[in-house]
């Protein structure tokens, strides 16, 4: 992009290699079927992540929290896992990166999204309880990893702040049921609801992600606005096939399904916006948990430029020919104010080509080089190029990728909003810990663990 041009967010299909995807015309012809299904699901209230019916109430709640509650705290400790944490982490890394830089003195978001005992102990021994808000995110209210942390953190708060511990808890859970809802009712804790039919991996633009964003001072209103701009046409009453066929989410979904039909079952998500690297992890969960069903799907491969040029890119370029790439970058303008320092003039002659240039000019040059190399190695590539790497653009991207995931699942003939295989692992873990019931799972565990070990030293 040159100086004076308009900042646009675009999808670039120049290297998508439609010629290698013979299924795409038939998939495009399903626009009418998909439009009818989408309109029906929205009308039935089963796709709140697109229609955003909760947003007016949430906007008022967030404004209220910003006005008097959130400013009381310096630290937020988020207890959540999977979709309850990945969106918040991506937003923090992208738009409040100061926490990761030397000399940070502002607000800090700490996310406990695993069951590592040493990490939990370190946080509880070092965080000042009086300045910490604990944000617990679990729609069901019985996610064992999150609730296990909650028991211990609640105990910590009660020891450190016996008079006002409950004022340092904010619970994000179901409006009517679940253990966390019982806790909120019993102790009078502050809560924000998770709307019905809003699965964790689709929930970043809800209280799940926007409360941490508001805490950090991120422009959550721009995030929500950008998201709505892309999602609203898909949630409009009476959606027609022509409208859906012209929407970028449908075109991306057709491309993704046609890739699978052609045997390309790995999807690289190459983010050449370094501070947005965690969005690749957010998308990986969204894509994998939604589409890995019945022996189908494509494996998401998160990557960040330029770091992964020097690690996994060799496999992308010269490994099995089963990969495609969604390449995310920011449009470059030499007039951008954040291009960093100018290279000095007293460099060795072999580096003269850098003289007069800014450090920030390396990134778009590297991005172009990697994009061209992928294309020269016959990797189908769709380019997502953002005019500005700001909250509004991030909201648009998140809506685009969420809607694409949903539509891809429907084109595959699977349900993209459940996760049955994941639920099995959860039940087995509870059975291993001695939870009541789960007799079938306990029997399976006994059989599995009784098999003679096939161990060898190394």
SS3 labels along 22-62: CCHHHHHCCHHHHHHHHHHHHHCCCCHHHHCCCHHHHHHHH
Q: Which of 37, 166, 357, 426 is catalytic?
A: 426
| Catalytic status, residue 439 | no
Contact at 8 Å (CB) between 156 and 14?
no
d(CA 399, CA 386): 14
Answer yes or no: are the C-beta atoms of 47 and 235 closer than 8 Å.
yes
**DSSP assignment of 242-296:** HHHHTSHHHHHHHHHHHHHHTT--EEEEEEESGGGHHHHHHHHHHHHHHH--TT-
Nearest-10 Cα torsion for 302, 305, 309, 311 = -50
Q: State yes or no: is 104 an active-site residue.
A: no
Active-site residue, 426 included: yes
Angle separating helix axes 220-235 and 55-64, nearest 10 degrees:
170
User: 389, 276 in Cβ contact below 8 A?
Assistant: yes
Which residue in the list 176, 310, 349, 455 is annotated as catalytic?
310
Q: Choose, from 183, 251, 289, 441, the residue flagged as catalytic.
A: 289
Residues, the chain: 458
CA distances from 456 to 449, 450, 453 (A): 17, 17, 9
Residues 406 and 415: their CA atoms lie apart, in Å, by 8
Q: What CA–CA distances, in Å, run from 90 to 108, 204, 279, 431, 434?
A: 14, 10, 5, 33, 35
Residue 160, C-beta contacts closer than 8 angstroms, at least 6 positions apart: 129, 130
- Catalytic residue ranges: 289, 310, 426
């Amino acid at each position: 992009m040159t100086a004076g041009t308009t900042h646009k967010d675009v999808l670039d299909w120049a290297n998508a290699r439609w010629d290698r995807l013979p299924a795409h015309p038939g998939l495009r012809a399903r626009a009418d079927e998909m439009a009818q299904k989408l309109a029906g699901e929205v009308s039935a209230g089963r796709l709140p992540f697109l229609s955003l019916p909760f947003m007016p109430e949430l906007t008022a709640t967030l404004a209220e929290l910003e006005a008097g509650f959130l400013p009381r705290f310096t630290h937020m400790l988020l207890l959540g896992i999977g979709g309850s944490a990945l969106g918040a982490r991506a937003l923090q890394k992208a738009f409040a990166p100061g926490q990761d830089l030397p000399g940070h003195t502002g607000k800090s978001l700490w996310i406990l999204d695993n069951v590592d005992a040493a990490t939990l102990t370190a946080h509880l021994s070092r965080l000042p309880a009086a300045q910490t808000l604990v944000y617990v995110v679990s729609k069901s209210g019985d996610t064992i990893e999150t609730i296990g942390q909650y028991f211990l953190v609640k105990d910590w708060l009660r020891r450190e702040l016996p008079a006002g511990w409950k004022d340092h808890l904010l619970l994000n859970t179901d409006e009517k049921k679940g253990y966390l809802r019982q806790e909120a009712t019993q102790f009078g804790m502050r809560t924000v609801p998770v709307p019905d039919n809003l699965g964790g991996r689709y929930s970043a633009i809800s209280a799940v992600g926007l409360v941490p964003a508001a805490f950090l001072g991120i422009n959550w209103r721009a995030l929500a606005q950008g998201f709505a701009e892309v999602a609203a046409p898909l949630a409009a009453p009476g959606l027609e096939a022509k409208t859906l066929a012209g929407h970028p989410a449908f075109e991306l979904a057709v491309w993704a399904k046609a890739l699978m039909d052609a045997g390309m079952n790995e999807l690289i998500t190459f983010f050449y916006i370094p501070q947005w690297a965690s969005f690749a992890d957010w998308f990986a969960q969204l894509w994998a948990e939604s589409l890995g069903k019945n022996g189908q799907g494509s494996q998401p491969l998160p990557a960040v430029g330029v770091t992964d040029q020097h690690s996994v890119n060799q496999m992308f370029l010269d490994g099995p020919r089963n990969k495609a790439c969604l390449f995310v970058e920011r449009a470059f303008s030499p007039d951008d104010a954040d291009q960093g320092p100018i290279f000095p003039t007293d460099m060795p002659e072999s580096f003269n080509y850098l003289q007069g240039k800014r450090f920030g000019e390396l990134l778009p040059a590297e991005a172009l080089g990697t994009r061209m190399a992928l294309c020269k190695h016959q990797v189908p590539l769709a380019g997502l190029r953002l005019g500005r790497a700001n909250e509004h653009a991030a909201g648009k991207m998140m809506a685009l990728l969420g809607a694409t995931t949903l539509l891809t699942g429907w084109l595959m003939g699977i349900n993209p909003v459940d996760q049955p295989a994941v639920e099995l692992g959860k039940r087995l873990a509870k059975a291993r810990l001695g939870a009541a019931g789960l007799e079938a799972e306990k029997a399976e565990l006994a059989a599995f663990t009784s098999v003679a070990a096939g161990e060898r030293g190394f």
